[in-house]
Amino acid sequence: MKRIFLSLLVMISLYFSATSSEQSNTYDLKIGVSESPPFVYFDGDKVIGVSDDLWRNIADSLTINYKYVRFSNYIDLLSCMKRGEIDMTINPLTLTDSRLADFRLTIPFYTSRLGLAQHPSYRIPLITVFLSVMNWRTLQLVLLLCSVVFIFAVLIWLAEKRKNPKEFRKGHKGLTDGIWWAFVTMTTVGYGDKVPRTKLGRILTLIWMFYAIALLFVFTAEISSELTVTKLQGNFSTVDELRKIKVGTLEQTGFSSFCRINRIQYTPYTNLAEGIKAIDEKKIEAFVGDVATLEYLFDKYKLGKDLEITPSTLNEQYFCFGAARDHLELIDRINPVLLNVTESAEWVEILYKNGIKQ
Q: What is the pLDDT of residue 77?
A: 94
Distance, CA of 65 to CA of 43 (rounded, Å):
21
DSSP secondary structure code for residue 121 in this structure: P
CB 11 within 8 A of CB 48: no
Candidate from 76-85, 160-169, 186-195 with smallest mean pLDDT = 186-195
For position 260, which CATH number holds?
3.40.190.10
Is there a domain that residue 94 lies in?
yes
Do 225 and 131 fall into the same domain? yes
What is the torsion angle, in degrees rounded to the nearest 10, for the CA atoms of residue 97, residue 103, residue 109 and residue 113?
A: -40
Query: Could you read off the pLDDT of 62-76 as tens digits, one per residue?
Result: 999 999 999 988 889
CA dist list (Å): 132 to 4, 18, 118, 125, 220: 92, 71, 18, 10, 14
Quote the number of domains for the chain: 3
Helices 171-186, 136-160: axis angle to 10 degrees equals 120
Distance, CA of 164 to CA of 7 (rounded, Å):
126
Average pLDDT score over residue span 163-170? 88
Do 249 and 266 fall into the same domain? yes
Average pLDDT score over residue span 178-187? 88
Do 269 and 184 fall into the same domain? no
Q: Which long-range contacts (CB under 8 A, 24 or more apart) does 84-88 make?
A: 84/324, 84/326, 85/30, 86/30, 86/31, 86/32, 86/324, 87/27, 87/29, 87/30, 87/31, 87/323, 87/324, 87/327, 87/330, 88/29, 88/31, 88/32, 88/321, 88/322, 88/323, 88/324, 88/327, 88/330
Is there a domain that residue 9 lies in?
no
Is there a domain that residue 309 lies in?
yes
DSSP secondary structure code for residue 85 in this structure: S
pLDDT confidence bin for 145, thresholds 50/70/90: confident
pLDDT confidence bin for 232, thresholds 50/70/90: very low
Is there a domain that residue 19 lies in?
no
Do 222 and 152 fall into the same domain? yes
Q: What is the pLDDT of residue 52?
A: 97
Nearest to 197 by CA among 171, 222, 163: 163
pLDDT confidence bin for 340, thresholds 50/70/90: very high
Backbone dihedral angles phi then psi of residue 305, each to the nearest 5 degrees = -70, -30
CB 41 within 8 A of CB 48: yes
Q: What is the pLDDT of residue 131?
A: 58
Nearest to 168 by CA among 160, 69, 225, 355: 160
Indicate if the pLDDT at residue 261 is higher than 80.
yes
Q: What is the pLDDT of residue 166?
A: 86
Query: Could you read off the pLDDT of 6-49 as tens digits, one per residue?
Result: 455 445 454 444 444 444 455 689 999 998 888 998 999 999 99
Percent of the chain exceeding pLDDT 90 equals 35
Do 225 and 210 fall into the same domain? yes
Average pLDDT score over residue span 119-135? 59
Is there a domain that residue 13 lies in?
no
Query: Could you read off the pLDDT of 295-314 as tens digits, one per residue?
Result: 877 777 666 567 788 777 77
Do 218 and 182 fall into the same domain? yes
Is there a domain that residue 98 lies in?
yes
Do 223 and 146 fall into the same domain? yes
Task: Identify the domain containing residue 244 by its residue range.
Answer: 118-123+233-316
Distance, CA of 13 to CA of 227 (rounded, Å):
79
CA dist list (Å): 244 to 46, 217, 239: 42, 30, 9
57 compared with 240, residue with greater pLDDT: 57
Average pLDDT score over residue span 77-88? 95
For position 183, which CATH number holds?
1.10.287.70
Last residue of a domain, one of 229, 253, 280: 229
Burial level of 295, CB count in 10 A (0-12/13-18/19+)?
buried
**146 forms bridges with which residues in the sheet?**
none
233 compared with 121, residue with greater pLDDT: 121
Last residue of a domain, one of 176, 200, 229: 229
Q: What is the pLDDT of residue 6?
A: 42
Q: What is the pLDDT of residue 19?
A: 43
Looking at every residue in the chain, the average pLDDT score rounds to 82
CA geometry: angle 200, 206, 208, nearest 5 deg: 100
Is there a domain that residue 272 lies in?
yes
pLDDT confidence bin for 358, thresholds 50/70/90: low
Is there a domain that residue 18 lies in?
no
Q: What is the pLDDT of residue 26?
A: 54
